[in-house]
C-alpha cells in the first residue's frame, strides 16, 4: 500500500519502521529539517520537508490516490486540515488522525476522517463501558468503528443466567450472540441455548446499540 505519514516525531519514527517492515510504500512529510535529515539517513524513502497543512507541499509529496494518510501533528486543527486536503484534493482513500482533544472525535468523523486516534477518548469509553456492566471482559471495534465485538463473562449475579437466548426480548435486532465459550467448549448458539454462569459471550453489534446490548446483561436489568 501507498501510505503517507504527515508530521510527528517518535510516533512517526516507530510507525514508519513498522510500515516498511510490512513492505508498504511510505512517503513522509515533516516540517522539521533536522528530523527530516535523521529520517532520511535512517530510511531509504521519500522525505518531504515542509508543512503538510499546505496544499502545495502535499502536491510536491505526490500523495495522489494514496491508500492511507496518517496525520500526526500535535494540533487537531492541523490534522483535520491535512485529512480534508488529502481526501478532497488528492483522493486519498482513507485518512487517519491523532486527536489531542477527545471532544473533537465526533467532529472529525462527521467531517470525513475515517479513523480517529485519541488515547483520552479510548480510555473514557472503556471506563464508560465498565460502569455499564462490570463483567465486560473486552471490546473490539471493527470496520471503521461501525461494528463492535464485545466479549462478556456471565457472573452469578447476571439476570440472564439460566435463561434461553430466545427469552432475551430486549436484545436489539441488529445484535447477535455469535459464539459462547463454555469451559473448553465452543458453542454456536441458537434460540434454545441456555446461558450459564461463567459463559463467555462474543456479541456482534453496531456501535450505536452497544450500550443497550450490554445493559441487557447488567445485574439488575429485567428481561
By the 10 Å C-beta count (0-12 exposed, 13-18 middle, 19+ buried), 119 is classed as: exposed
What is the C-alpha to C-alpha distance for residues 217 and 195, in angstroms, rounded to an integer?
Answer: 11
Average pLDDT of span 88-111: 86
pLDDT in tens, 160-199: 899 999 988 888 888 889 889 888 888 989 999 999 998 9
Task: Report the pLDDT value the prediction gives residue 145, as an integer from 0 to 100.
Answer: 54
Averaged pLDDT of the chain: 82
Main-chain phi, psi angles of 73, to 5 degrees:
-70, 155
pLDDT band at 126 (very low <50, low <70, confident <90, very high): very low
**Mutual orientation of helices 10-21 and 33-42 as an angle, nearest 10°?**
30
Name the pairing type of β-strands 176-182 and 200-206. antiparallel
Q: What is the C-alpha separation between 77 and 69, in angstroms, rounded?
A: 16
What lies within 8 Å, CB to CB, of 165 at 6+ separation is 171, 177, 189, 190, 191, 192, 193, 195
Question: Counting every residue, how long is the chain?
Answer: 223
Q: What is the pTM of this model?
A: 0.56
Work out the average pLDDT over 149-170.
85
Residue linked to cell 437466548: 165
Higher pLDDT, 111 or 79: 79
High-pLDDT (> 90) share of the chain, % = 35
Domains of the chain by start residue, with CATH: 2-117 (3.40.50.720), 122-216 (3.30.70.1450)
pLDDT, residue 134, reads 46
* Class of residue 220 by CB neighbours under 10 A (exposed 0-12, middle 13-18, buried 19+): exposed
Question: What's the pLDDT at 216?
Answer: 79
| Mean predicted confidence (pLDDT) in 11-28 | 88
Q: Which of 49-58, 114-123, 162-171, 186-195 has the highest mean pLDDT?
A: 49-58
Eight-class DSSP state of 193: P
Amino acid at each position: 500500500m501507498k501510505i503517507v505519514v504527515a508530521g510527528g516525531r517518535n510516533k512517526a519514527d516507530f510507525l514508519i519502521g513498522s510500515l516498511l517492515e510490512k513492505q508498504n510504500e511510505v512517503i513522509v512529510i515533516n516540517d522539521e529539517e533536522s528530523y527530516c535529515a535523521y529520517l532520511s539517513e535512517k530510511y531509504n524513502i521519500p522525505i518531504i520537508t515542509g508543512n503538510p497543512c499546505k496544499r502545495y507541499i502535499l502536491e510536491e509529496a505526490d500523495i495522489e490516490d494514496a491508500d492511507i494518510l496518517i496525520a500526526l501533528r500535535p494540533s487537531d486543527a492541523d490534522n483535520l486540515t491535512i485529512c480534508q486536503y488529502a481526501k478532497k484534493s488528492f483522493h486519498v482513500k482513507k485518512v487517519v488522525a491523532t486527536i489531542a482533544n477527545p471532544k473533537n472525535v465526533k467532529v472529525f468523523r462527521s467531517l470525513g476522517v475515517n479513523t480517529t486516534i485519541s488515547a483520552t477518548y479510548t480510555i473514557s469509553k472503556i471506563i464508560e463501558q465498565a460502569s455499564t456492566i462490570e463483567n465486560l471482559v473486552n471490546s473490539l471495534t471493527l470496520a471503521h468503528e461501525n461494528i463492535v465485538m464485545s466479549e462478556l463473562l456471565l457472573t452469578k449475579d447476571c439476570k440472564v443466567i439460566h435463561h434461553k437466548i430466545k427469552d432475551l426480548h430486549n436484545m436489539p435486532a441488529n445484535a447477535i450472540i455469535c459464539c459462547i465459550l463454555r469451559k473448553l467448549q465452543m458453542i454456536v448458539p441458537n434460540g434454545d441455548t441456555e446461558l450459564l454462569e461463567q459463559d463467555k459471550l462474543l456479541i456482534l453489534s453496531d456501535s450505536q446499540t452497544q450500550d443497550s446490548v450490554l445493559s441487557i446483561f447488567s445485574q439488575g436489568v429485567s428481561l
